[in-house]
Structure 1
């Protein structure tokens, strides 16, 4: 003979509701904590200040174009995970340029926290070279900046894919 089913009481309904909403709230809190922990942050702290500096950037780009320099960059990822960056700089007449201070950055398009700086030193006449360790494969923005007498005279940004 089968036993009678247990009746649905107010206590059971309360326990089911508390368990259901406890699971929903627990999942929401976990997802919120994970989202906040992985948030890379804002691109710029002050959009107003970034807007004011936009005219200076346009002027610097026009000055750079008027110089007609040729700056070639080559980046190579080694088998140990590092990367070597080489920059060759020539003036408008094709002569190698020396005495400049070049610096490079590998920037992750999706997460600014993964950006890597590459210090470049003059390795020859008009050739600047530097390396960095532990570069993950994938898409990067290669940013090259050149300074002369403390003033930025060259800047380029190119998307590269490192295997």
Structure 2
């Protein structure tokens, strides 16, 4: 039998102690709590999701909205609105309104509301002035590029006679 010399082997074994397990558990849950905290902060500081302040009142006015939409469809107006933005951020809304026979509609008051689909803080409103018969124009300064919802509302002496909502994309 051949005897081998005795040598000390130094294995650097890391032992898993109770303190190590506790540190890993605390670290794991701290990461989870930090991520949840970030998500809660982002959820509460962004869009609330509220479309109407009172669902009950909106429900009460619903039949009136249906009647107004039917009356608008019966008028068969042709309304064409265009939004253009220059490099400096100046946006121009040009709206042409014609009746069912193609005659220009004059004497109306149009308002355009540009809303961000996700955040109400950026909403912009502009009154459109009649620049020529049946053509209404309004400008907005520093309009940011991106997606917008353009809500148009036209009034005459009897009240609101036209409403539309369109998604528009404003390029750089």
Instruction: Using structure 2 for the length normalisation, give the TM-score.
Output: 0.81
2:4 match: none
User: What is the aligned counterpart of 1:149 among 143, 152, 157?
Assistant: 157
* 1:2-38 alpha-carbon deviations (Å, 9 max, x no partner): 2653543323322222222122212211221122212
Residue 66 (structure 2) pairs with residue 19 (structure 1): no
| Contact 1:107–1:141 (Cα < 8 Å) also in 2 | yes
Instruction: Report the aligned-residue RMSD.
Output: 2.2
Mark the runs of 5 or more structure 1 residues left unpaired by the alignment: none
Secondary structure of 1:12's partner? helix
Moved over 6 A (4+): none
Q: Unaligned regions of 5+ residues in structure 2, if any?
A: 1-8
Q: Per-residue displacement from partner, 1:28-61 (whole Å, max 9, x unpaired)?
A: 1122112221234311222232222221111111
CA distance in 2, matches of 1:5, 1:92: 88
Once the two structures are superposed, residues 87-107 of structure 1 have per-residue CA deviations (whole angstroms, 9 ceiling, x without a partner) of 122233433222211101122
Q: Does 1:126 align with 2:134?
A: yes
Higher alpha-carbon Rg: 2
Q: In the alignment, which residue of structure 1 is the partner of 2:111? A: 103
Answering whether residue 56 of structure 2 is matched by residue 42 of structure 1, we say no
The count of aligned residue pairs is 163
Contact preservation (8 Å) 2:112, 2:127? yes
